[in-house]
Amino acid sequence: MSGGSAALQLVREAGLGDLVRPGSEHAFVEMGSQRLLPVRPELQPLLPGGGLRRGSTIGVATGGPVATSVLLALLAEASRGGSWCAVVGLPALGVAAAAEVGIALDRFALVPTPGPDWPTVVAALLDGFDIVVTASPGGTVAPAIASRLAARARQRGAVLVPYGSWPAVDLSLHAVDPVWHGIEAGRGRLRGRQLTVTARGRGAASAPRVTHLWLPLPSGALPVVEPLPAPGEELATIHPLRRRESA
């Protein structure tokens, strides 16, 4: 303890105070490229560290009116960045929707019917893929199987994404209150949807985090990564022109 405080004293005297940060921050920022897989900016507030931490188990809850598109949005940015994703046990997944949110289909493997020996399949995929999504067949998963797969993910540095009920997850995303825009009684079409996504977890993420987002955006299927400019900024480019006219 005294050694630690003496070292801190030394660092402060040398004027290096702003270079020293808690270890947990280092883990996310310094080693970020290896340890964290990127996610879309709208989902970053939900995840500790702002990305999918390798070795973690991040669940997406089903049962509500929204689930699959949140799952696809969670994978999109990592897949676009070169990661390999696999989906086990979801025969009804809309692959066209996956392509629309930005998932690269040539790095997106599907095992729709893994059969009764699905934990072996998931474990085999965790060896080679960065993100493995698995649906829990029959609704219930034995805690022993869940912890075995989570350990495999941790050991291999993959992200396990259980879809549906799962005994133990580091973080669980739950989407509620979808409001569709662009459609009216007999007119228009489905264009954009507003959602509320809640993240609950354990450890650093034990406090629930809530975010509101558009999924998909009404402007089109592809997400706008840059935030929309504030009204003041839009005018800024016009200003010098006006001044010249008045002069």
Partner 1 sequence: MSTTARTLAVWCPDWPVIAAEIVEGISAHGPVAVLHANRVLSCSPAARIEGVRRGLRKREAQGRCPQLVVVDRDEGRDARAFEPVVAAVAELAPGVEVLRPGVLALAARGPVRYYGGPEAAAERLVEHIAQVCAVEAQVGIADGVFAAVLAARAGRVVEPGETAAFLAELSIAAIGRPPLVDLLRRLGIRTLGEFAALPPADVLARFGFDAAMAHRRAAGEDDQPLAPRQLPPELAVAETFDEPVERVDAAAFAARALAERLHATLAGHGLACTRLGIEARTEAGEELHRTWRHDGLLSAAAIADRVRWQLDGWLTGGRGRPGAAAPARPTAGIVHLRLVPDGVLADGGLQLGLWGDAGEERERAHRAMTRVQGLLGPDAVLMGVRSGGRSSVEAVRLVPWGDERVPDRPVEPPWPGRIPAPAPATVYPEPVPAEVCAADGAAVGVTGRLAVSAPPARVSIGGAGPVEVVRWAGPWPVDERWWAPAESYRAARFQLVLADGRAVLAALAKGCWTVEAVYD
- Are the CB atoms for 150 and 57 separated by under 8 Å? yes
- Site stretch for partner 1 (CB under 8 A), options 7-15, 21-29, 59-67, 136-144: 59-67
Distance, in Å, from the CA atom of 234 to the CA atom of 162, rounded to the nearest integer, reads: 43
100 scored as a contact of partner 1 (CB under 8 A): yes
Report the distance separating Cα 5 and Cα 1, nearest Å.
6
Q: Does 117 bind partner 1 (CB under 8 A)?
A: yes
Instruction: Give the list of residues 6+ apart from residue 243 with CB closer than 8 angstroms, or none.
Output: none
CB of 1 to partner 1, least distance (A): 43
Which of 1, 19, 96, 207: binder of partner 1 (CB under 8 A)? Answer: 96
Complex with partner 1: residue 18 or 106, whichever CB lies closer: 106
Give CA–CA dist 53/159, Å, rounded. 7
Window 196-235: contact mask with partner 1 (x via CB under 8 A): --------------------x---xx--------------
Gap between the Cα atoms of 188 and 191, Å rounded:
8
Query: Taking each helix axis from N to C terminus, what angle separates 143-156 and 118-128, rounded to the nearest 10 degrees?
Result: 10
Near partner 1 by CB under 8 A: residue from 177, 225, 229, 236 = 177
Q: Read off the tokens for 140.
A: 């219930």
Question: Which of 8, 29, 105, 225 is close enough to bind partner 1 by CB under 8 A?
Answer: 105
> Computed over its alpha carbons, how large is the radius of gyration of the chain?
22
Q: Write out the residues near partner 1 by the rule CB under 8 A.
A: 64-69, 71-72, 82-84, 86, 91-100, 105-117, 120-121, 124-130, 177-178, 180, 183-191, 193, 216, 220-221
